[in-house]
Amino acid sequence: MPTITQLPPGSGVTAADILPLSQAGTTNGVSVGALLAGTQPAILTRSSTLLGRVSVGPGGPEEIDVGSGLLLVGGTLAATGADHASFPQQDSLAATDSVVLSSDGHPALLPVGALRELFSAGNNISITSSGLISATGAIQSEGASSTGYAIDALPTVSALSGQDLVGISQNGSNCAITLADFLGGVTIDAAQTAGPASDSDTFWVAQGSSTMSCQTLSSTWPWIVGKLQSYTAPIVEIARDTTLQGTVHNGRVLLCTSPVTLSSAPISTGGGFFCDIINVSPSNVMLASGITTSSGQSLLMAGQCMRIYAATYSGGTLMFGWMGGSSSSASPPGQATGLSSSSQTVNSVSLTWAAPTSGGAVTGYSVSFRVSDSANWTTAVSGVVATQYTVTSLAGNTTYDFIVTATNGSLTGPSSNVVTTSTGMSTSTISAPAGLSATNVSAANVTLAWLAPTIGVAQSYTVQYRTTGSSGWSGNIMGITTTSFTTTGLSAGQSYDWQVIAIGSDGSTATSSSIVVQTSPTTASVTSISWNLVPSGPFVHGTGVLGMNAHITPATAAVQFGVSMSMSTPPATWTAGNYVNTDLWGAYVAVPSVAGTWYAWVEGVDGSASVVYPVGLIVT
């Protein structure tokens, strides 16, 4: 009997084909259709497909999809919450409501009222059973009791800053204000006008710390008196023609060492300006038009002094010079004659002369000298009674001019003939000063510093200077006993050569190497100004300074800075600008003593090209 594998394969299978079937031990035949009747046919679908039966009547499974809020991923059905948007809205929350939460990974319901147990009331705060949060602690206000913070329960601080807040009531509403703004509202200009000052008047002071104490006017007077005893007016040496300026000359003693011309511009001085002028030059100091004098003369003779006042009144600003004890009827001495040089050393020249044969009586003589071919004379001595004198502390191997003038009190006679002679060749036994340098250079002043000789001891020093390119040393300052000196009265924007001579006890001299220093640029009309720096503030009135600077065209034109409470009215006072570098000029202007909004101004010293910074400075 053949096996099943030996049978020939069928060409096709139909429901009518017969298959053998053992049925109760008996072999029977069954058709393929009868065998498979009632069985499910093969189902072929994509992965992650849900099958179900949604139709009516016989049939196979049908493909179904998940609804909103469900997601089938990798055979896992999960909730997404996307169906929450369709939940009904509830406008109020009741204690009986519940919220769904996850507790240890399991869903659970929580009554809304239980959420209150998560919170506890802090200091001066209460929470009622219905969830009402309120402040506790009664505070009396205008006879009524209201609720709020108890101030004694608040934390305590030991310091304050300007940004700390202070509570206030404004128009019935509770508000806060910063400490800086709170104090800024109480300024001295808002106070009522006081009566005449008296010894019992008091003011605030801080002594040794920031703690404020009370001081009386009478208690400050002994302190002021003590300061007055040691105060001395600053001295400014004038050796060039000069225009008086308030920032440079006010309250100073001006020592004229050359016969210069003094002039004044009211805008540069202002009312209340004053200065003392002493003429120690060998000839007259001339006063430019605009300065009225008590003597009626537009000059200050050698040996005289004068005080100049500036007074502003309804007629303008008056410049008045008062010459105490001057007399226009006195007769000045005549000319000293026969001046000659009797001997010379390495650093001295001896002179002799004859007394005048005309004019008033002679009370003394002044001897002056200069390096030959230079412009400025230096007074070696005044009030000499004899008709001879030896000028010392001169530079070796240098040619000098000498003159003598006779004096009679405050009057000076004409100069004698000029004698020209040279000092001897230096045979120095001391070394030359070294390290000559210049600091604090301004338009009219130069400060020099140097090192003392390393060999020998210098008894004194002589500073010499000249304009760069000239042959002779036009300036000579003798008798200097320190290793620094400030020369004043120089020309602005001028280049100078400088050297220092050390003079030994035996008359020997040694000269340092020379240096070249240029003074700051001269004043001129300004054509344009652009601000570079203006401080932003705020500032406390009457305290500190305002640093500001600007670019100036031309760069050599001097300017002045000031502040005004108006963008159209110029400042009442100005501060002279300092040349910084290139075209930059700057100044430190005192913070105004009155609180308010102030505007920064800058202009040329002649009033040209005024520019106002458009943003106001807040002074509290």
Cα 415 to Cα 241, 336, 404, 431, distances in angstroms: 21, 7, 6, 38
**Residue 315 corresponds to which tokens in the numbers above?**
């007629």
> What type of residue sits at position 178?
T
Give the phi and the psi of residue 112 in degrees, each rounded to 5: -60, -35
Mean pLDDT of the residues in the chain = 82
Segment 582-602 mean pLDDT: 88
CA angle centred on 400, ends 397 and 405, rounded to 5°:
150
The pLDDT confidence band at residue 149, using thresholds 50, 70 and 90, is: low
Does position 143 have pLDDT exceeding 50, yes or no? no
**Worst-scoring range by mean pLDDT, 132-141, 212-221, 363-372, 523-532?**
132-141
- What pLDDT does 307 receive? 92
* 202 pLDDT more than 80: yes
pLDDT band at 142 (very low <50, low <70, confident <90, very high): very low
Residue 354 is predicted with a pLDDT of 94
pLDDT at residue 137 in the model: 56
- How far is the C-alpha of 66 from the C-alpha of 81, rounded, in Å? 13
The residue type of 244 is L
How far does Cα 184 stand from its chain's mean position?
A: 22
Q: Tell me how many degrees the CA angle 364-368-371 measures, rounded to the nearest 5.
A: 170
Is 150's pLDDT higher than 70?
Answer: no
Residue type, 220: T
Cα–Cα dist 191/202, whole Å: 15
Q: Is the pLDDT of residue 451 over 60?
A: yes
The larger pLDDT score, comparing residue 582 to residue 544, is at 544
Instruction: Please enumerate in sequence order all residues whose Cβ is within 8 A of that of 127, keeping only pairs 6 or more positions apart, or say none.
Output: 116, 119, 120, 121, 133
- DSSP-assigned letters across all residues of 233-244: --EEEE-S-EEE
446: left (phi over 0), alpha (psi -120 to 50) or beta: beta
pLDDT at 579: 74
Per-residue pLDDT averaged across 174-181, rounded? 82
Cα gap 85→68, rounded to integer Å: 10
pLDDT at 190: 61
Q: Which residue has the higher pLDDT, 312 or 611?
A: 611
Of 22, 19, 20, nearest to 33 by C-alpha is: 19
**Mean pLDDT, residues 356-384:** 84
Min mean pLDDT across 36-50, 129-143, 169-183, 343-357 is at: 129-143
Q: Do 397 and 423 contact (CB within 8 A), yes or no? A: yes
Question: At residue 339, does pLDDT exceed 90?
Answer: yes
38: left (phi over 0), alpha (psi -120 to 50) or beta: left
For the CA atoms of 74, 77, 82, 88, what is the dihedral angle to 10 degrees? Answer: 170
Q: Are 559 and 529 in contact (CB under 8 A)?
A: yes
Question: Letter for the amino acid at 510?
Answer: A
Q: How far is CA 336 from the centre of its chain?
A: 58
Note the pLDDT of residue 326.
46
Give 465-524 pLDDT, tens digit per residue. 888 877 667 777 888 999 999 988 777 777 889 999 888 877 667 888 889 998 876 656
Cβ of 136: how many Cβ atoms within 10 Å? 13
